[in-house]
Structure 1
Amino acid sequence: MPLIFRGQDVTAILGNPLTAANSLYGILSVAEPTLLTGLADHWNQHRDRTPTVDGTAYRPALGAFSAISSFWGNTYSDQRLAGVLYGPPFAANTAAVTGANTAAGFLRDFEAARDEAFYVFLQGQSVNELAQVSFLSTYYHHDVSELFVQRPHSRMRAIVSRRVIETAQVMLRILYGNMSMGWGTLYSTRTLATTLLLAQMHNRLLAPYRSRVTERPVYNQSSVAFTLLTFSYVVAQSWVDARYEFDQGRWYYFWKLLGSLLGIDSRLIADNHAEAGDLWRRFFQAGECRGGNGVPYATNLEEDRIDAGLVAGYHFAPEANLLQWVPAFIVTQLRNAPRWYRYFRR
């Protein structure tokens, strides 16, 4: 069954690589090829220097993301990259993706969206949904499941726990702008470059794998677009169900930009909650995910759809290094106290 989204048949692009021309990754690949190559080299060098863990093929990646935040120049700053995106040759294509006509407008909207996403991510409701549903529901997708089945350490609880925590740490860096603490607050944020580094890491690590089910590369438009939904739509639905107050427009704008920086085609990214729910259903109905027309409710994990070994290997155990985000959590709660006051006054 074809995958129809917003009235368009997007079936033909599902197996494409994460280099869509109508994505911010695609635009920056043309506008800043040296930066993209530099980030790929940075990742390769870090990976070569990082030892594997416990005799497995797993190599921790967080150090590569930490390293670019310590650079004092302007090379990686969001402000400079926004200026590149809105330079004369690229402004129209960028505006078509972001909806903002100027670099200043884009940075304003982007920073507001990132701030909203940071607030949502740091709440107990979100942490519980992410740990209990989001990570595991990525395995619904045939290609994602195939990828991890082919990586033996994906069934080892200790390694899976480290991988999940590492993903959380990278996301927190993206949400916080990937600034070093202390003196680092004096210079620009680096969310765009940090997300581009994540894209390059995935390109290098996952591109060689092919699915035995779909017979296409597993790191493709379909698998990454669906993975984006497991974090954006699943968490948002849990907030809607709980009747918590959040800015859905800003929340989905953040995910739209993050997905675009990963190279997802704009035709596969939802702009709002209704579209996200529609896209979620269509992934299952089109056979991209396990289970056909019996579409699972977003916040209720159906483990029988997932490879049993992957379920058994999943483990989430918080680590002490996550405590560094407690001050940011406290500040975020204080800044958003009016929302909670209105919620508890209902």
Structure 2
Amino acid sequence: MASATIPRRLLLGMALAAPALLSRRAHAAGEVIVRTPGGTYDDVMRRVVYDPFTRETGIEVRPVAATAAKLLAMFRAGNVELDLIDTGDHQLMRLERMGALAPIAYDSWTRSKPEDINPEVKLSHRVGNFVYASVLGYSTEHFGANPPASWKDFWDAGRFPGPRMLTDMAAGSASLEFALLADGVPRDKLYPIDIDRALRVMDRIRPQIRRFWDTGALSGQMLSDKEVVAGSIWNGRLQVLIDRGAKLGYTWNEHMIQVQALGVFKDARNVEGAQKLIDFMMQPAVQAEYAKPLIYGPTNKQSFPLLSAEERERMPGGEQSLRTGFYQNIEWWEDNRDRVSRTWSRWVQR
């Protein structure tokens, strides 16, 4: 009778083949390629989202950098190299209007509950994964105990002197909302924006504007280097500087809430995997965990109870934030972007 013992050489061959077999299984489980902002954001997401998602599902996650122009070019060329897009809401709206995005599969969620997501950011073809805010930041060293507390104060260079900064259109949108707030327009009456009125108000403060910034890094550098003493800046960018000891502060009064969102290319290679990753990312505990280091606000309402009072105070999107701030109307901006860009270009070059 033949022996049932497996030959030693066969056992050795099976052992050597095991890593390759595991690799093929991981590949078979799929890979989701994600467009992300890069840098520290990728480090946080790798630790909090991507690696835990891979351990739970077997689906690998590969983040890549891609500009808005590249995303548009991919779709127009019919050569979609990405599955999930993690970017500013206005860029996703542009892609949605072009017919580039698949609907968000809310009905297939098993980890997150769609009803827990803030209705402001839960849309048919995109869903916000966090919110950030443009706030009025200032030098505490320069202003002491009497800093500007509103955009009306910011526009009052007599009471609050010193060089200033505001956003340029290259940063996504110019600070037209803040100009109208300075001119007495209520937060709930900002849209549709009266462009001519906003620019007339801008005329009054322009002599004090050292520069219109086009990147978050530049805005932080201008404040920390004392090139300016006040200006609009993203809350997370400013909070990092404050945590490092910079003599800076900000007010939540009249801040503008903006959205980072997720969308899926409808022609993506792994639509199903991308939808699963969205479901994973929107869980209350997961959102709370990545909100802490990023200093941006969760969009799942059940995340806030998982944060400390101090952590909630540092983030937009909570109850206090909704009482003192407003959501930027990106639909208006996308409808009027070309017109504003042409008008802004003429105005800023005068």
Coarse TM-score class (shorter-chain normalised): under 0.3
Higher relative contact order by CA 8 Å / sep ≥ 6: 1 or 2?
1
Question: Which is greater in Rg?
Answer: 2
Q: Under a length normalisation based on structure 1, what TM-score does the superposition of the two structures give?
A: 0.27
TM-score, length basis structure 2: 0.27
Q: Which structure dedicates a bigger proportion of its chain to strand?
A: 2
